[in-house]
């Protein structure tokens, strides 16, 4: 936060004290004004509200097919409505409802991806997807705390989707942004796979997926890492846009975890979309990962807020049609 407010002071100084602005200085002022916007429109109080609501015991761990996840779905829909998002293509509501049978239980489940749209001003037919999964593991066992709240995994990511929707509604976007809360990620990327089957992937120029952004990363504060960094130049574009902000993006350091294929970004990457996951969590040592102890109180609201601000700033040139990342190419065994 501090860094950003220092920047605000600097940009106010440039605007107010320099009568003869040359072009370069105007650009500097413009860029800094944008950081000011992300600091003002993405505030930690709203972040905290989304996170604590989605990770509350009332949502019962948000397992696909339960009453708990239905409460989360309603919360996300209400927020999409409040923010002023429209519905996706042929859908009449924010819900993309479908049935599936998980491999383990063999019991048919009805569930829904929640999708909201901000039409682009000048590049309406070029889409950028901003996503996170809103399901988690539900209630397991009969111990005192048997609710797997999934605060970091992935209420933190859904919080980012909601905050970014509100942010881009205010600042505007040249490309169309499709905000998606995916269901049944924990059962095998089921919601995103279903979504992928129904789209024309060539329209999707980039995928911004958010997973577990609530803990201080191993690289230190004001950093995040990106899965599949070398698979397109998406990450390099983000790094370029973050220069001078004090926030840094690194390639995923946990190569042996195969994380690129373990979240919903993979369902779009398989279709060629440069679709990557941002995370901050030191997953190799995270004792709360897929445990009942993954509670909102274990997360750092400042880390979440700063990461959302960095994603807003870092993806700006893609959202506004200035940069287009290279497509992802996978070998056949991964498709």
In the complex, the residues that contact Zn ion under the rule CB under 5 A are: 153-154, 211
Nearer residue to Zn ion within complex by CB, 126 or 153: 153
Please list, in sequence order, all residues whose beta carbon lies within 8 angstroms of the beta carbon of residue 14, skipping any fewer than 6 positions away: 21, 25, 28, 29, 32
Instruction: Answer for the pair 333, 71: CB distance below 8 angstroms, yes or no.
Output: no
Tokens 């995928």: give the residue.
207
Minimum CB distance to Zn ion smaller for 154 or for 295: 154
Shortest separation between residue 233's beta carbon and Zn ion, angstroms = 25
Please say which residue, 191 or 325, places its beta carbon nearer to Zn ion: 191
Omega before residue 154 within 30° of 0, cis: yes
* CB of 50 closer than 8 Å to CB of 128: no
Comparison of 242 and 283: residue with beta carbon closer to Zn ion: 283
How far apart are CB 88 and Zn ion at their closest, in Å? 22
Helices of type H across the chain: 2-17, 23-41, 44-54, 67-83, 156-171, 190-197, 234-242, 265-269, 301-314, 316-319
Q: How far is the CB of 183 from Zn ion (least distance, A)?
A: 12
CB of 192 to Zn ion, least distance (A): 11
Tokens representing 3 are 């860094």
> Residue 162 forms beta bridges with which residues?
none
Distance of closest approach, residue 186 Cβ to Zn ion, in angstroms: 7
Q: Which is nearer to Zn ion, 153 or 323 (CB)?
A: 153
């Amino acid at each position: 936060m501090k860094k950003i407010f220092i920047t605000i002071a600097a940009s106010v100084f440039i605007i107010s004290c320099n009568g003869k602005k040359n072009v370069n200085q105007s650009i500097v002022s413009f860029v800094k004004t944008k950081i000011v916007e992300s600091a003002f429109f993405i505030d930690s109080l709203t972040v905290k509200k989304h996170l604590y609501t989605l990770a509350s015991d009332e949502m019962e761990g948000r397992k696909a097919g339960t009453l708990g996840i239905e409460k989360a779905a309603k919360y996300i829909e209400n927020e999409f409505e409040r923010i002023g998002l429209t519905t996706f293509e042929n859908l009449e509501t924010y819900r993309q409802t479908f049935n599936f049978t998980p491999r383990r239980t063999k019991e048919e489940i009805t569930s829904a991806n929640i999708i909201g749209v901000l039409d682009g001003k000048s590049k309406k037919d070029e889409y950028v997807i901003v996503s996170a999964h809103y399901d988690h593991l539900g209630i397991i066992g009969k111990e005192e705390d048997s609710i797997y709240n999934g605060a970091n995994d992935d209420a933190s990511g859904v919080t980012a989707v909601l905050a970014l929707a509100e942010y881009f509604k205010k600042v505007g976007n040249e490309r169309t942004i499709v905000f998606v809360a995916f269901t049944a990620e924990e059962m095998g990327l089921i919601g995103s796979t279903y979504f992928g089957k129904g789209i024309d992937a060539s329209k999707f120029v980039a995928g911004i997926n958010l997973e577990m952004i609530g803990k201080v990363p191993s690289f230190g504060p004001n950093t995040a890492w990106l899965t599949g960094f070398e698979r397109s130049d998406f990450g390099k574009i983000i790094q370029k846009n973050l220069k001078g902000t004090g926030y840094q993006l690194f390639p995923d350091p946990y190569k042996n975890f195969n994380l690129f294929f373990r979240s919903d970004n993979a369902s779009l990457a398989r279709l060629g979309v440069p679709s990557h996951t941002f995370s901050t969590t030191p997953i190799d040592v995270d004792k709360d990962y897929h445990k009942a102890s993954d509670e909102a109180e274990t997360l750092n609201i400042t880390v979440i807020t700063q990461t959302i601000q960095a994603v807003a700033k870092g993806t700006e040139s893609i959202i506004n049609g200035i940069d287009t990342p290279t497509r992802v190419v996978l070998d056949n065994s991964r498709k």
